[in-house]
Every structure is written in C-alpha cells, then in structure tokens.
Amino acid sequence: MRTAAVDWRLAAPLGIVYLALFAAPLLLLLGISLHSDQDLQQWGVDNWVKFWSDAFYRGVVWDTLRLGLAAVLATSLFAWPLAVFFCASSARTQKILLFIILLPLLTSVVIRTFAWIVILAREGLINQAVLALGLSATPLRLLQTETGLILALMQIEMPLMLLPLISVMRGLDPNLLDASRALGAGHWRSFFRVILPLSLPGWIAGATLVFASACTAFISQSVIGGARLVYLPSLIWQQAMVVYDWPFAAVCSVTLLFTVLAGVMMLNWLGRYARTD
Amino acid sequence: MASRRLFLAGMAGALAAPSIARASGSMTAAIYPGTWDEAYREIVAPLLRQRHNVGVSFDPLFAVDQVAKVRAARGVSPFDCFVLDPGPAAAARQAGLFEPIDRRLISNAAKLPDGMLTADAATVNVQVVGICYNPKKFPEPPKSWTDLFRSPYVERLGLTGFQTTFGTVSLIEMAKAFGGSVDNIEPIFAKLREALPKVAAVATPAALPGLFQQGQIDIMYTNTNNAATLKARGVDIAFIAPTEGAITFATTLHIVKGAENKANAHRYIDVALSAEAQSKLQLSPYNMIPVNKDVQLTPNLDIKSLDELSKMVTHDWSVINPRRAAWIDRFNREITK
C-alpha cells in the first residue's frame, strides 16, 4: 500500500512534464485543426471534410503508409541475412560489423540523403557503372522515383532494423539450431521454422522504428523523391510554411500522427499474437 | 524549505536574464537561417557594434515563421526587425505588423535608387531571376521562357513550383510568355502537363542546386545568388536574362510594430544599407546584389549596374498572395505521379 503511493509520487514529475510538453501541444494541434478559417476565429470541421472528401489527399495518406511498408519490407529482406551472418561470426568480426552497421547513424540524415543524390543521379555512381558495363545505352532514371527513394531509405533506416534484430538473435540458444539440424531440417527450413519465429520480437521492434521513421522522413522524401511524389510530411510543411493554412496543416499532421500510430499498433498487436502462438 | 527558496530564486534569475540582455545598446533582429544568418553575423553585427556600440542578437527564422511569431505574440514584439521577401512582406503589411521607418534616421537614404526606402520598408538586397544553364552542354543557350519547353532544352530542365518567391514569379512570367497573365495562369499549367514526361526533374527548390551540380539537370530558372554560389564551387553554370526580361524582387527590412528598440532598429537598418556592409555582402559566398549606389559591383553578380534593375520585371504580391494557395494546390495535383 505504502510502496504504491511512493511509486505514484516518483512518477509524477515526469508525468507532469509529459502532460505539459507532449499532451498539451497535441491538444493544441487538434484544436487548430478544428477551425475553419486561417485566422483561427471560427470553429468547424471544414478542413477535416476537405481533406478526407478529396481523393488526392486520401491518395497522399495511402502513399505515405505504403512508403513506410515498402521500407520495412526492403530493410527486412537484407537485415535478416545480415543478422544471421552477424551471429555466426567471430567476436572480432562482430565488432567490425557492428561498427559498419552503426556508421550511418554517425552522419546526419541530411548528409546521407545528399550522398544518395551522388549515387543515384544521372551521372552518378550507379549510372556510370551501368553505362560502363553496357547494361543500358541511356542513363537509368533513379533519382525522383519511388524505387530510388526506397533504396535510399533502406540504407538510411537499416540500423533501426538491424540493432533490435541482432540483440534478440544473439540471445537465442545456439543449441536450438543444432537440434533443428539433428532432426533433419535443412538450412532454409531451420531459418524459417526456428530462427524467424524466435527473432520475431526483434523484427517487430525494428519494423516499428523503420515504419514510423520512413513515413515521416521529410528530408529524404523531398530531396530524393522530388516534387512529383507528395507525402504527408511535405504536404504539412507546404501548408504550414508556404500557404500559411494552419488548420489544414494541423489536419494533415493529426492524420499523419494517427495513421502512423495505427500502423505501429498493428505491429504491436502482431507481436503479442506472435508470442502467444 | 531552503532548497525551495533557492529554486525559486534561480527561476526568478532565469526569467530576469533576457531583460538584462536587452538593456540599452542592444536589439534583436530576425534573420533567415543559413547564408543570411552567417553574412549578417559576420558583416553587419560587427559594424553596428563599432559605429553605434549596439549589440544585435539574431533570431534565425524563415519569413513565414517571423510573421507567425509576431502575430502569435499579439503586440509584445519578440524581435525588433523583420527581414522579408515580397510575399510575406505584403501579408505582414496587410496584417498591420510594421512600424513606420523614419527616413531622417537613415543616413544612407539618399544613396539608394528611387523607391527602395518606403514608409515601412527598406530594401536591403535585390534578387534577379532568370535562366541558368550549363554552357558546356549547351553552347547555344535557351533564350526565352518559351525556349525552356522546347527540345533539346526541356529534356534537361529542372522544374520547381510555387513554393518559393523565385519559382512563383518565374512561372507567372512563363504563363505570360505563353499568352496568360496573373489572372490567367492556365497556359503555364497546360505547358507543364505537356512537359512533365520529358523534363529531367521536378524538384523541391532546395534540391535544385545539388541536382544541377550532379548533372541530373542542366537548365533551371533561379536567382543569380544560386548561380554565383555554384560557380564558386567550380560548377559549369551561366546565367542568362530571358528575352522577356529578367525578374527582380527585393528583400526588405522592416521595424516590427511595437518594437522595444526602435532607435537601434533604425541604426541596424542604416548599417545594413551602408556602402561598407553592402560591398562585403556582395562577395562570395554571400553574393547579395547591393542597393547602395556607392558600391562598385563585382563581376560575379551577373548585373552591370543598378540602373538595369529599373528595366526588369516586377510583381505586385498583394495580387499574388491570395491566388498562390490555389496554384500550389493545383501544382501538387497535376504533377503528382
């Protein structure tokens, strides 16, 4: 009884800070979105109706979520083999690998994004290689395409997927794999029936981070994706900073927040399902 | 108990600190982040300290943020001076956010071309917008706005929309070149639709210089500042005024309504307009076209004399502002894949 009271009081300072700095601005944002004029004089749901009744904006929401999913799929495709390789390596190799995995986190996302322009551009690394090898007569179009953007996001978000995955897979009992082999399962079967299900909690943590981060990657989306790919973050920036329509920008922001949150919650739900199964 | 009193004393001290920093001999000016921030800290701030013993602290904010911050403060000005492009300046004027500028307190007033110092605005630098191209790839440059939409130029063109001042005025001029006007922007949208499958890139304005440097695009419409910056980095780039005329617009300083340090704000504006500051601001990496007639223009600016400015195309932003949101929305819809 007494400990419960102490616990509550210990958590209060942080709770109050959260309430003041996190919940209050969110409520303010919600309040702004419920105005129908740019000077915030008139209450109304006009901007919500304008956003959701328009196929163009619904398309933007869908494209943003799809981009997050694509980034999760792309990172997963490469992260699992890398994590398996990591766990099978010697302690020394693991140290080197860990450094390489962490390297992207040590440079700013702006620099990483601009580096991808150098790689994907018409006269960039990939196109120079493609032209030199005679794989194509004209430069490929990679910049300003969704493929190029997903490729760049895959590298930019990779540490967020790899680190939780590796930390979970390192904790797996190596005997399980031996047992699987001894019982006659091949490499692939062992991977899909033993490693994959057991590392799922790590993947879910990684997927959550990658999904939320890719959906909101304003810099990468606008610099590598270009103006022809419109996602929610650039729409928010445009409406708030250029058009100065704060209620509409607030509608976009709240929409981004809740759709990404829904995705994250779905992944969490998947996690609970995976563990009880 | 004692610790709580100490804490409260500390809080009071922290709250009092800003007012001490803003005692006489100081002021706060909003400034664009990036080049402007660097340039004004490097050149204008030391001059202001030296001439008037006034310390200026800068608040790096984009134009829209400056207007939003002053509006949100509702009468208690968060800084003394605005720096604004014509669009936000027209909006701020409409909202009554400017204090009048007293001409008698600006000693450099007579050194400025006509119309650059008005009742509430001091032009501190002008931008000139035209066509930039890679002279190695195109010995024969595109000469007019309409040329940009012809082969072989259109295939190497980098497009940008109505988000920036230079993008907006360029697209308006293109609309005019194809028979439209500010009230009838339709012709440029028709041309954009036609050009979309061919153009080298449709980019955010901030990405354009990088794309040009990397050879993704070889032609763009932009200001001479961007051209000079890229040239200084060794990029093959040349500026050409389209046959329809180059566009010019002013970046202006204004005193915020109800500013705490009006006298110092006047001094700050005067120093920014002085030949000494302006002749340094025009050099690389800042490349700001000066407005003081005493300044000897450097060749990197692509303009020979300030007299050229009066022949260039200008725009009334109180007309553009109400239409711009719809243009941006339309650009979004029509160019999205």
This model of the complex carries an ipTM of 0.82
CA pair distance B289, B305, nearest whole angstrom? 10
CA pair distance A139, A131, nearest whole angstrom? 7
Q: Tell me the chain A residues in contact with residue B204 when contact means C-beta distances shorter than 8 Å.
A: 222-223, 226-227, 234
Exposure string over B283-320, b if 16+ CB within 10 A, otherwise e: beebbbbbbbbebebeeebbbeebeebeebbbbebeeb
CA pair distance B281, A60, nearest whole angstrom? 42
Q: pLDDT for B275-286, tens place per residue?
A: 999 999 999 889
How near does any CA of chain B get to the CA of A163, in Å? 31
CA pair distance B275, B279, nearest whole angstrom? 6
Structural domain count, chain A: 1
Q: Is residue A166 part of a domain?
A: yes
Given a contact cutoff of 8 angstroms between Cβ atoms, the answer to whether A84 and A191 are in contact is yes
Query: Cα dist. A191→A84, A159, A251 in Å?
Result: 9, 21, 44
Given a contact cutoff of 8 angstroms between Cβ atoms, the answer to whether B259 and B270 are in contact is no
Flag whether residue A230 sits within 8 Å of chain B, measured between CB atoms.
yes
Superfamily of domain B128-248+316-335: Periplasmic binding protein-like II (3.40.190.10)
Write the DSSP symbol of residue A172.
S
What pLDDT score was predicted for residue B22? 40
Residues in B whose CB is inside 8 Å of some CB of A read: 62, 64-65, 67-68, 91, 159-163, 196, 200-204, 206-207, 210-211, 214-216, 324-325, 328-329, 332-333, 335-337
The CATH number of the domain holding residue A130 is 1.10.3720.10
What pLDDT score was predicted for residue A184? 87
Exposure string over A4-28, b if 16+ CB within 10 A, otherwise e: eeeeeeeeeeeeeeeeeeeeeeeee
Q: pLDDT for B64-119, tens place per residue?
A: 889 888 988 877 889 999 999 999 999 999 999 999 999 999 999 999 999 999 99
- The pairing of strands B219-223 and B122-133 is antiparallel
Q: How many cross-chain Cβ pairs, A to B, lie less than 8 Å apart?
A: 81
Flag whether residue A139 sits within 8 Å of chain B, measured between CB atoms.
no
CA pair distance A122, A142, nearest whole angstrom? 8
Nearest to A116 by CA among A212, A230, A234, A221: A221
pTM above threshold 0.90: no
CA pair distance B214, B235, nearest whole angstrom? 9
H or E element, residue A45: none
Q: Is the pLDDT of residue A195 over 90?
A: no
Given a contact cutoff of 8 angstroms between Cβ atoms, the answer to whether B256 and B99 are in contact is yes
Write the DSSP symbol of residue B105.
G
Q: Is residue A3 part of a domain?
A: no
Flag whether residue A242 sits within 8 Å of chain B, measured between CB atoms.
yes
Contact B202 A144 (CB under 8 A): yes
Q: Is the pLDDT of residue A252 over 90?
A: yes
Instruction: Pick the residue of A28, A32, A243, A245 with the most B CBs within 10 A to test the interface with B by mutation.
Output: A243
Q: Is residue A257 part of a domain?
A: yes
Q: Is the pLDDT of residue A207 over 70?
A: yes
Q: pLDDT for A18-51, tens place per residue?
A: 889 989 999 999 999 999 988 888 999 999 999 9
CA pair distance B277, B273, nearest whole angstrom? 7
Query: How far apart are the two ends of chain B, measured CA to CA in Å?
Result: 65
Q: pLDDT for B170-182, tens place per residue?
A: 999 999 999 999 9
Nearest to B195 by CA among B160, B158, B154, B161: B154
What pLDDT score was predicted for residue A274? 66
Contact B215 A122 (CB under 8 A): yes
Query: Cα dist. A270→A139, A260, B43, B95 in Å?
Result: 42, 15, 58, 52
Q: Which domain holds residue A206?
A: 44-276
Q: pLDDT for A99-123, tens place per residue?
A: 998 888 888 888 888 889 889 988 8
Q: Give the list of residues 6+ apart from residue A174 with CB closer than 8 angstroms, or none.
A: none
CATH class of B2-126+249-311: alpha beta
Given a contact cutoff of 8 angstroms between Cβ atoms, the answer to whether A127 and A140 are in contact is yes
Residue written as tokens 């450094």?
A99
How near does any CA of chain B get to the CA of A196, in Å? 37
Given a contact cutoff of 8 angstroms between Cβ atoms, the answer to whether B129 and B222 are in contact is yes
Percentages helix, strand, coil for chain A (3-state, rounded to 5) are 80, 0, 20
Exposure string over A209-227, b if 16+ CB within 10 A, otherwise e: bbbbbbbbbebbbbbbbbb
Segments of chain B assigned to CATH 3.40.190.10: 2-126+249-311, 128-248+316-335
User: What pLDDT band is residue A197 in, cutting at 50, 70 and 90?
Assistant: confident
Q: Is the pLDDT of residue A221 over 80?
A: yes
User: What pLDDT band is residue A4 in, cutting at 50, 70 and 90?
Assistant: low
Beta-bridge partners for B87? none
What pLDDT score was predicted for residue B17? 43
Tell me the percentage of chain B whose pLDDT exceeds 70: 93
What number of CA atoms fall less than 13 Å from residue B91's CA on the CB side?
23
What pLDDT score was predicted for residue A275? 59
Residues of chain B with pLDDT under 70: 1-24
Mean pLDDT calculated for residue range A214-237: 93
Q: How many Cβ atoms are within 10 Å of A185's Cβ, its own excluded? A: 16
